């Protein structure tokens, strides 16, 4: 390489590294060490006799002259910084005077490196500050990077620069750099360990074939150069260059989950043999093996490429659809050929040469492209007529048109161009009508942003604008000469626009119902409007899009009321009974329940039930509040004790019967905390009173500690038995005996509940157990507050067990639908239904939205039935498909969102196909109605119109473009044939006008209606 000189002043010394070759001087004494400044050298005498003593002398050697280092007499020598570039030897003398001398080594300097420690990372030798003389800069003339293999330093080929891009061969090895100066000094860097390769191959891709996931026999598959990466210890991915990798290939074909080798297929490309179509070799993959350094990794393409001619057949089927037959069974091009031809041709052009060669009916596509180009060139010449064209030019156009065959002429919808040329030849002065025709055609095509495809939206933003444009077009058509009206092009777009306008205006009228409605009524009306909106096609929806904010507003008409409801719910939930807020609390709960019932869009059944229960709890609590207030009113000196006592126990008994949730509303319950005492019994002994009071205290203490049911129950049982043994006189002083009796009843109730719990938990059958658990749960709700408190641990057991059953049904309790229909796809809804149907009747009770799932079962059946009919009637009876589609509800239609059906060998959106069919049918129906009306308009008040002949020609042209099915719907067609017959009779009479006698005889046979027609024609 070219020597680069680096001029740098020395500032500091470097560190250590590798041993360096030394020149031989003795085969028995060697020097161990790297030879680097600042490191130690050691005399190795292991090969000398072991029974002698040795002395050591270290020397600098320069130009054959040895300089003794008198202070260095041990077997170890620390190299000083001023020894850089010098040669060193060691002499060893035994106690018999025999001397051994080592090879000399040259002292080297150290330099550091900085940078990465992974393959494709960069390392740079740091030479700043390296100099043996502070007054003279150091010039480096050479660098060499080394890798250590088997403890030997091997130079890395062509790596002789200051910088190194770490090559793959250095992976998991030590590397260092050696730098030389123009003075002959050598510097070496410390060893640096390079990380191991951690290889991976990214997705293997193919190229050079038709595309998709298939090929045809004759196609050549080629593997794109795979991307191979290595991951560093810090998870950084490094992409390796292709020149650093050696690739090998093996093509395979898949059999089930296994692979079979394809013989002689080990190059980056593979041509599919011509005879594989009927063989077992269907799915092709490739195995790529990448070798980087000494590391190897392999990968197989995840997605196989299928050998299939399905795509070829699909294109052939699409090409076949370019041709159809007219009512006289003559082959013609389909009406919308221009809109589909480009797509089919693009698909064909994307095929590989091998695939193209297999398209058997390409000649149809090829001719269609050429024919359209030919007719469009002729049409362009006709459209370019400027009103000054000569008769010769018109005759030339006529001649060119007449050269078209029948198939080519079918591209001229309604023979428009032929009629224009004929009209111009008949009346050359009418060329000014061409400009009007051109403007009308432009206005019609500008109605849509993208031609006849159902997806483009109308250019206007509202129905009013579209109506004005249609009216303007109709006015311009009516202003044409009668014979030119029939040659207006793109009438189908105009007819379709009128039909779409009518549908959009019909939807707009539904919004009028919202005026003056209540929020509840608005929500109901909005639901019907939304349903109607979803049935519109995309073009029609675009016309009423400006109405959507009003629809959303109506759908959310109850939002304010719902927010008020939610505020009230927040205020009452968790509220406790307070004397000064009691009436307010009751009023709020009653208002909540009233609002919940009145709101159309509120469907939180759990909260509804919660409020109804709260209303019941407040009523139950209020009864006890009144009893306690009555007891409070008796607490006067003049009231008899037995009356006070009776009122107290009645109130306490009623309070204890309440549930925990009911007791929290009894705001005056603290009056029951103090048992009333009797100060009116003077005749009993003081001993009876003392014993009775103590027994009362025992009852009170026992009942206050209910933390452990078993201990509580034993205490109650003992007190009941003791009470039975008390003397009659003592019993009179037991003022809380009623509490003991109530506690005894509570213990019995909890023991009964405990028995039910154990019975439920011991049931082996899961379905029966769940039913039993629900029964026990209901039994708990019927316990009073004290009993519920005592049975709380048992209730927790039951709740935990029920939760085990219910947690598996969360995915079935999802919201299924919103204002636009089902939230999930048809497949997802079917999966949920299957899960629901697999549940037992007891498990189905856990599903909170079971009603929606039952509705979904019905809707899925209807949709699947429709899909089956769609596939059956697609070619046989398309009108039946539209009829069945219109029977579907909005919810059912929403299940078809995203559903794809096979059309012409390809998957396409079913809903989009329905929209196209609806548009086509609607346009056809309008043409039928228009034909019927036109026939009826041939006569006015029993007489033929003056332009009868032109009208007949126009009507027959429209009639001939109807399908056979549509022609049958023109029930008054006989009127048209009769008009033709009458017209022919009148024309025959006119032809006799040169023979007065014959003419008079024929004219006298005409009816009054035909006489009038004769006059109108002959005038």
DSSP line for 414-443? GGHHHHHHHHHHH-GGGGHHHHHHHHHHHH
Q: Residue 442: pLDDT above 90? A: no
Tell me the C-alpha to C-alpha distance, in Å, between residue 92 and each of 23, 59, 290, 338. 17, 11, 56, 104
Tokens of 182: 């123009």
What is the rounded distance in angstroms from the CA atom of residue 367 to the CA atom of residue 352? 20
Tell me what the mean pLDDT of segment 286-298 comes to: 89
* pLDDT given for residue 483 in this prediction: 74
Residue with tokens 């850089």: 84
What is the rounded distance in angstroms from the CA atom of residue 644 to the CA atom of residue 646? 5
What is the rounded distance in angstroms from the CA atom of residue 944 to the CA atom of residue 976? 11
Which own/partner contact pairs does 293-296 have at CB distance under 8 Å and 24+ positions apart? 293/119, 293/168, 293/169, 293/171, 293/197, 294/171, 295/168, 295/171, 295/197, 295/199
Q: Residue 175: pLDDT above 90? A: yes
Tokens of 320: 């076949």
DSSP code for 36: B
Closest by Cα among 772, 842, 839 to 812: 839
What is the SS3 assignment for 19? coil
* pLDDT given for residue 174 in this prediction: 93
How does the average pLDDT of the chain come out, rounded? 80
* pLDDT given for residue 253 in this prediction: 85
What is the rounded distance in angstroms from the CA atom of residue 719 to the CA atom of residue 735? 14
Side-by-side strand order, sheet with 269-271: 206-207, 220-223, 269-271
Task: Say how far residue 713 (Cα) sits from the centre of its chain.
Answer: 61
Residue 118: exposed, middle, or buried by beta-carbon count in 10 A (0-12, 13-18, 19+)? buried
Tell me what the mean pLDDT of segment 702-710 comes to: 84
| String of DSSP letters for 219-264 | -EEEE----EEEE-TTS-EEEPPGGG-EEEEEEEEEETTEEEEPTT
Who wins on pLDDT, 910 or 362? 362
Phi, psi (5° rounding) for residue 511?
-65, -25
Q: Residue 145: pLDDT above 90? A: yes
Q: Residue 13: pLDDT above 60? A: no
Closest by Cα among 812, 778, 768 to 798: 778
Q: Residue 426: pLDDT above 50? A: yes
* pLDDT given for residue 12 in this prediction: 30
The DSSP bridge pattern shows strands 305-307 and 214-215 to be parallel
For residue 277, name the pLDDT band (cuts at 50, 70, 90).
low
State the angle between helix axes of 391-402 and 416-426 in degrees (0 to 180), rounded to the nearest 10. 150
CB neighbourhood size of 294 (10 A): 10
H/E element, 134:
none
* pLDDT given for residue 924 in this prediction: 64
Q: How far apart are the first and last CA of the chain?
A: 108
What is the rounded distance in angstroms from the CA atom of residue 591 to the CA atom of residue 561? 11
Tell me what the mean pLDDT of segment 769-783 comes to: 83
Model confidence over 525-576: pLDDT tens digits? 888 888 888 878 778 888 888 888 888 888 887 777 778 888 888 888 878 7
Tell me what the mean pLDDT of segment 736-763 comes to: 87
Q: Which of 168-177, 479-488, 740-749 has the lowest average pLDDT?
A: 479-488
Tell me the C-alpha to C-alpha distance, in Å, between residue 856 and each of 831, 834, 842. 11, 11, 20
What is the SS3 assignment for 697? helix
Closest by Cα among 120, 124, 123, 117 to 195: 117
What is the SS3 assignment for 1016? helix
Closest by Cα among 79, 116, 73, 109 to 92: 73
Q: Which of 90-94, 361-365, 763-767, 914-918 has the lowest average pLDDT?
A: 914-918
Q: Which of 303-312, 625-634, 904-913, 993-1002 has the lowest average pLDDT?
A: 904-913
What is the rounded distance in angstroms from the CA atom of residue 203 to the CA atom of residue 215? 19
CB neighbourhood size of 11 (10 A): 10
Q: Residue 142: pLDDT above 70? A: yes
* pLDDT given for residue 450 in this prediction: 52
* pLDDT given for residue 706 in this prediction: 80
* pLDDT given for residue 152 in this prediction: 87
Please name the residues in contact with 386: beta carbons below 8 A apart, sequence gap of 6 or more. 431
* pLDDT given for residue 643 in this prediction: 87
What is the SS3 assignment for 180? strand
Which own/partner contact pairs does 561-570 have at CB distance under 8 Å and 24+ positions apart? 561/519, 561/595, 561/599, 562/599, 562/601, 562/602, 564/595, 565/592, 565/595, 565/596, 565/599, 565/602, 568/592, 568/595, 569/607, 569/611
Q: What percent of the chain has pLDDT over 90?
A: 11
CB 626 within 8 A of CB 651: no
* pLDDT given for residue 856 in this prediction: 80
Tell me what the mean pLDDT of segment 92-116 comes to: 89
Residue with tokens 């899909």: 867
Return the exposure string of 402-437: e unless at least 16 CB atoms fall within 10 Å of the residue's CB, then b: eebeeebbbbbebbbbbbbbbbbeeeeebbebbebb
Model confidence over 180-208: pLDDT tens digits? 888 888 889 889 999 999 998 888 888 76
Q: Residue 165: pLDDT above 90? A: yes
Tell me what the mean pLDDT of segment 586-595 comes to: 86
Who wins on pLDDT, 451 or 216? 216
State the angle between helix axes of 948-960 and 910-936 in degrees (0 to 180), rounded to the nearest 10. 160
Phi, psi (5° rounding) for residue 99?
-110, 140
Closest by Cα among 587, 524, 523 to 555: 523
Model confidence over 885-895: pLDDT tens digits? 767 776 777 77
CB 208 within 8 A of CB 254: no
Q: Which of 21-30, 206-215, 559-568, 948-957 has the lowest average pLDDT?
A: 21-30
Who wins on pLDDT, 309 or 793? 793
Tell me what the mean pLDDT of segment 568-589 comes to: 84
Q: Which of 480-484, 578-582, 873-877 has the lowest average pLDDT?
A: 873-877
Q: Residue 381: pLDDT above 90? A: no
Task: Say how far residue 782 (Cα) sits from the centre of its chain.
Answer: 49
Tell me what the mean pLDDT of segment 833-843 comes to: 73
Tokens of 85: 């570039």
For residue 901, name the pLDDT band (cuts at 50, 70, 90).
low
For residue 24, name the pLDDT band (cuts at 50, 70, 90).
very low
The DSSP bridge pattern shows strands 295-300 and 283-292 to be antiparallel
Model confidence over 781-833: pLDDT tens digits? 888 878 888 888 888 888 888 777 766 566 666 666 665 567 777 777 788 77
* pLDDT given for residue 18 in this prediction: 34
* pLDDT given for residue 23 in this prediction: 36
What is the rounded distance in angstroms from the CA atom of residue 518 to the CA atom of residue 515? 9
* pLDDT given for residue 785 in this prediction: 77
Whether the predicted model's global pTM rises above the 0.85 cut? no
């Amino acid at each position: 390489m070219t020597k680069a000189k680096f001029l740098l002043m020395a500032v500091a010394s470097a560190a250590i590294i590798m041993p360096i070759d030394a020149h031989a001087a003795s085969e028995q004494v060697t020097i161990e060490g790297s030879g680097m400044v600042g490191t130690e050298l050691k005399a190795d005498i292991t090969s000398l006799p072991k029974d002698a003593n040795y002395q050591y002398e270290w020397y600098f050697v320069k130009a054959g002259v040895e300089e003794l280092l008198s202070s260095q007499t041990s077997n170890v020598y620390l190299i000083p910084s001023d020894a850089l570039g010098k040669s060193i030897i060691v002499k060893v003398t035994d106690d018999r005077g025999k001397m051994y001398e080592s090879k000399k080594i040259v002292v080297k300097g150290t330099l550091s490196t900085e940078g990465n420690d992974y393959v494709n990372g960069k390392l740079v030798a740091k030479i700043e500050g390296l100099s043996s003389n502070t007054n003279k800069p150091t010039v480096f003339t050479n660098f060499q990077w080394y890798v250590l293999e088997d403890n030997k330093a091997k130079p890395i080929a062509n790596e002789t620069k200051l910088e190194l891009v770490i090559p793959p061969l250095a992976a998991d090895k030590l590397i260092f750099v050696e730098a030389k100066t123009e003075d002959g000094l050598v510097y070496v860097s410390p060893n640096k360990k390079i990380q191991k390769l951690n290889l991976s191959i990214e997705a293997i891709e193919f190229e050079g074939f038709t595309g998709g996931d298939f090929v045809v026999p004759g196609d050549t598959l080629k593997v794109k150069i795979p991307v191979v990466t290595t991951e560093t210890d810090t998870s950084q991915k490094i992409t390796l260059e292709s020149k650093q990798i050696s690739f090998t290939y093996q093509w395979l074909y898949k059999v089930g989950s296994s692979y079979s080798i394809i013989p002689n297929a080990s190059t980056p490309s593979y041509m599919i043999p011509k005879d594989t179509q009927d063989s077992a070799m269907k799915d092709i993959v490739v195995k790529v093996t990448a070798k980087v350094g000494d590391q190897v990794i392999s990968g197989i393409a995840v997605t196989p490429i299928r050998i299939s001619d399905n795509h070829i057949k699909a294109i052939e089927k699409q090409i076949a659809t370019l041709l159809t037959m007219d009512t006289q069974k003559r082959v013609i091009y389909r009406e919308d050929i221009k809109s589909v031809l480009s797509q089919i041709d693009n698909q064909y052009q994307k095929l590989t040469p091998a695939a193209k060669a297999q398209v058997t009916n390409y000649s149809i596509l090829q001719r269609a492209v050429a024919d359209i180009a030919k007719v469009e060139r002729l049409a362009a010449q006709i459209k370019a007529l400027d009103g000054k064209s000569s008769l010769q030019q018109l005759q030339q156009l006529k001649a060119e048109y007449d050269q078209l065959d029948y198939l080519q002429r079918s591209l001229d919808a309604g023979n428009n161009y032929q009629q224009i040329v004929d009209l111009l030849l008949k009346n050359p002065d009418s060329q000014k009508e061409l400009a009007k025709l051109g403007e009308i055609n432009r206005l019609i095509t500008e109605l849509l942003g993208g031609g006849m495809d159902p997806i483009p939206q109308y250019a206007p933003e509202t129905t009013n604008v579209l109506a004005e444009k249609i009216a303007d077009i109709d006015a311009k058509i009516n202003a044409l000469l009668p014979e030119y009206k029939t040659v207006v092009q793109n009438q189908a777009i105009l007819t379709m626009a009128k039909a779409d306008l009518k549908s959009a205006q019909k939807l707009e009228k539904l919004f009028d119902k919202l005026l003056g409605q209540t929020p509840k009524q608005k929500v109901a009306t909005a639901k019907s409007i939304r349903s109607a909106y979803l049935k519109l096609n995309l073009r029609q929806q675009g016309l009423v899009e400006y109405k959507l904010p009003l629809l959303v507003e109506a759908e959310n008409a109850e939002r304010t009321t719902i927010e008020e409801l939610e505020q009230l719910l927040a205020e009452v939930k968790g509220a406790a009974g307070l004397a000064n807020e009691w009436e307010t609390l009751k009023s709020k709960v009653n208002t909540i329940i009233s609002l919940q019932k009145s709101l159309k869009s509120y469907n939180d059944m759990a909260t509804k039930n919660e409020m109804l229960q709260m209303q019941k709890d407040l009523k139950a609590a209020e009864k006890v509040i009144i009893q306690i207030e009555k007891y409070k009113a008796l607490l006067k000196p003049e009231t008899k004790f037995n009356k006070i006592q009776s009122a107290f126990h009645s109130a306490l008994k009623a309070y204890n019967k309440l549930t925990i949730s009911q007791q929290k509303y009894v705001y005056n319950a603290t009056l029951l905390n103090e048992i009333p005492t009797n100060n009116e019994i003077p005749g009993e002994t003081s001993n009876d009173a003392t014993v009775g009071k103590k027994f009362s205290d025992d009852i009170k203490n026992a009942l206050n500690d209910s933390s452990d049911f078993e201990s509580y129950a034993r205490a109650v049982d003992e007190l009941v038995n003791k009470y039975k043994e008390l003397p009659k006189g003592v019993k009179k002083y037991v003022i809380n005996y009623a509490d003991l009796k109530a506690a005894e009843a509570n213990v019995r109730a909890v023991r009964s509940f405990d028995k039910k719990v154990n019975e439920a938990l011991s049931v082996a059958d899961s379905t029966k157990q769940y039913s039993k658990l629900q029964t026990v749960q209901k039994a708990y709700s019927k316990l009073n507050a004290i009993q519920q408190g005592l049975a709380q641990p048992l209730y927790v057991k039951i709740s935990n067990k029920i939760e085990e059953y219910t947690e598996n049904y969360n995915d079935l309790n999802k919201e299924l639908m919103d204002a636009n229909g089902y939230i999930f796809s048809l497949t997802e809804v079917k999966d949920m239904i299957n899960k629901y149907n697999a549940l037992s009747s007891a498990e189905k009770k856990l599903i909170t939205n079971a009603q929606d799932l039952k509705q979904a079962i019905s809707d899925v059946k209807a949709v699947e039935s429709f899909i089956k009919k769609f596939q059956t009637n697609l070619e046989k009876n398309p009108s039946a498909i539209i009829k069945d589609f219109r029977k579907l509800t909005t919810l059912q239609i929403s299940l078809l969102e995203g559903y794809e059906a096979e059309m012409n060998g390809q998957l396409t959106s079913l809903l989009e196909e329905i929209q196209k069919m609806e548009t086509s049918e609607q346009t056809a129906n309008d043409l039928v109605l228009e034909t019927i009306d036109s026939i009826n308009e041939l006569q006015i008040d029993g007489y033929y119109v003056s332009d009868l002949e032109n009208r007949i020609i126009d009507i027959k042209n429209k009639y001939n473009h109807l399908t056979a099915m549509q022609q049958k719907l023109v029930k008054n067609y006989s009127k048209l044939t009769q008009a033709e017959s009458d017209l022919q009779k009148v024309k025959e009479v006119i032809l006799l006008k040169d023979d007065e006698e014959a003419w008079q005889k024929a004219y006298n046979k005409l009816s009054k209606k035909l006489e009038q027609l004769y006059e109108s024609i002959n005038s």
